[in-house]
Chain A
């Protein structure tokens, strides 16, 4: 337990000591929130009569959790390049515990990033239903964070350097985000988007956050929770497997 804890703590220390990184990672969700929120707001309003900011905020929170957590997972490559990874790979601790400590640390940071975005969105007028709904949202943010930190770790375990980084962003993270229903409702979209979004785990995360914060649901809260938990267990297992196979 203590070993998982120190590796978790390490991720947190690295995060709060890097103020630049913290600010940089908040700039993007804020930009999306303002540009899309105020840009598409009037059209959305005319089309369905709803408030677009209410619709958008849970999606942008999911986005910031997605980005932060994937990057936290991919940090394994940095640790490989700066050498620290070796120190943990030869330690007399099972690789599973090491991976779990890192992943939980990364997921904690990503959840925290999501919370900050929630606070920022409240400044521009977003209001979650209740305190309970915020607590429920934190639970779902944590699930999303665990899923994508584990995914990032699994990918990074297979890579030697950062060359594939752009590839991961353009061919994995961006599609996951755009096809998750974060920006537009999944009702009435063409069939292929319905299919793609239904195999995208983030769709269930976005739906759960939106459901928890505003009551607006597409799949259903329990269903979301079951799917997300299942995917989290699956990705943690895959991540742990690949991590245990790393050679230096």
Chain B
């Protein structure tokens, strides 16, 4: 047991997160093995991002336990923040700064030494084809360019665990391939554990060692892509996914930007 848990860089036990009127994550348990590429899949609003927020110290769980490389994010938030890096699902760039400045700021926050920082910034901006736009303000970038910059920034420091929340959304196949090649390389050479979500099932099928499918806040299936196809007697992960989660279309909860427009709520409840 002891040995097994040491191999689990992330372990989640009976994790639950309730908001005022709904249970976003409902008694979820799973683990991620060290050095693996782990796909966390589910329809919109299934509880993926809420789970990631709890793993990354941005939200505290209602109940249950999380261990990140042996540390509890609620108790040792600062230690846990040293372990992971994340590419968020929605934008998190400073638009008033240039592409280079965004990279630089991230590098300093994550204590990447100056020379290594400069070298990696150049390499990564080249990878996402933004090196010649490095001095331009992010506010002048298109959606796809911002996404690429966001990913480049997420790869600047090499954490033990890299969270990628729908990293390749809205990117063309060429860029997606480049980026995944780079991530797989990091996984292989530096042993970075990758925890990602995506709606591109062929992408998940190609890169993931392990997959966990969540729906309505509950884990409904886990295993390798092959296991899942076998379980559901389907030919592709996409078919397996649809068989497991059904065909109805989900609505996502409003993001902060939507609630800026819609909600009249002025003060935020604490939990």
Q: Which residues of A contact B (CB under 8 A)?
A: 2-3, 6, 10, 13-14, 17-18, 79-94, 158-164, 167, 247-248
- Given known A92-B111, A163-B266, contact A82–B95 (CB-CB < 8 A): yes
For A5, give the chain B residue with the smallest CB separation: B108
| B105 in contact with A10 (CB, 8 Å) | yes
- B260 CB contacts on chain A under 8 angstroms: 81, 161-162
Q: From B56, which residue of chain A is reached at the shortest CB distance?
A: A90
- Complex CA distance for A162 and B267, rounded to whole angstroms: 10
CA A133 – CA B268 in complex, angstroms? 44
Assuming the contacts A86-B58, A92-B110, A161-B259, asked whether A14 and B96 have C-beta atoms less than 8 A apart, the reply is yes
Give the distance to chain B from A72, nearest Cβ to Cβ, in Å. Answer: 14
B92, A84: Cβ atoms under 8 Å? yes
Residues of A within 8 A of B59 (CB): 247-248
Contact partner, B58, options A81, A161, A248, Cβ 8 Å: A248
Q: How many angstroms between the C-alpha atoms of A94 and B77 in the bound complex? A: 9
For B106, the chain A residues whose CB sits under 8 A away are 87, 91
User: Least Cβ distance of A3 to chain B in Å?
Assistant: 6
CB atoms of B108 and A6 under 8 A apart:
yes
A11 to chain B, nearest CB (A): 10
Q: B59 — nearest CB in chain A belongs to which residue?
A: A247
Q: How far is the CA of A137 from the CA of B106 in the complex (A)?
A: 36
* Contact partner, A83, options B58, B90, B97, Cβ 8 Å: B90
**Are B88 and A83 interface neighbours, CB within 8 A?**
yes
Question: B residues near A, CB below 8 A?
Answer: 53, 56-60, 78, 81-82, 84, 86, 88, 90-97, 101, 104-106, 108-111, 256-257, 259-260, 263-268
CB neighbours (8 Å) of B256 from chain A are: 80-81, 160-161
Quick one: which of A83, A92, A164 contacts B92, CB cutoff 8 A? A83
- A91 near B81 with CB under 8 A, answer yes
Q: Which residues of B contact A163 (CB under 8 A)?
A: 264-266
CA A2 to CA B117, docked complex, whole Å: 14
Subset of 18 A-B contacts with CB under 8 Å: A6-B109, A10-B97, A14-B97, A18-B96, A81-B256, A81-B257, A87-B92, A87-B109, A88-B109, A90-B86, A91-B81, A92-B78, A92-B109, A93-B81, A159-B267, A160-B256, A160-B268, A161-B256
A90 in contact with B57 given A6-B105, A81-B260, A160-B256 (CB within 8 Å): yes
Contact status B264-A89, CB under 8 Å: no
Are A247 and B109 within 8 A (Cβ)? no
B88 → A minimal CB distance (Å): 6
Q: Which residues of chain A are within 8 angstroms of B109 by Cβ–Cβ distance?
A: 3, 6, 87-88, 91-93
A161 CA to B267 CA, complexed, in Å: 8
**What residue in chain B is nearest A94 (Cβ atoms)?**
B78
Q: Is the CB of B82 within 8 A of A92?
A: yes
Q: B267 to chain A: which residues have CB within 8 Å?
A: 158-160, 164
Beta-carbon contact of A2 and B78 below 8 Å: no
User: In angstroms, how far is the closest chain B Cβ from the Cβ of A246?
Assistant: 9
- Kindly name the residue among B95, B263, B267 whose own CB sees the greatest number of chain A CB atoms within 10 A: B267
Tell me the nearest residue of chain B to A161, going by C-beta.
Answer: B260
Task: Please indicate the chain A residues that have their CB under 8 angstroms from the CB of B97 in the complex.
Answer: 10, 13-14
Give me 7 other A-B pairs in contact (C-beta within 8 A), A92-B111, A161-B256 excluded.
A84-B92, A90-B56, A90-B58, A159-B268, A160-B256, A161-B259, A164-B267
Q: Which residues of A contact B259 (CB under 8 A)?
A: 160-161
Closest to B154 in A: A87
CA distance A248 to B50 in the complex (A): 10
With A and B bound together, what is the CA distance between A94 and B108 in angstroms? 14
Chain A minimum-CB-distance residue to B84: A90
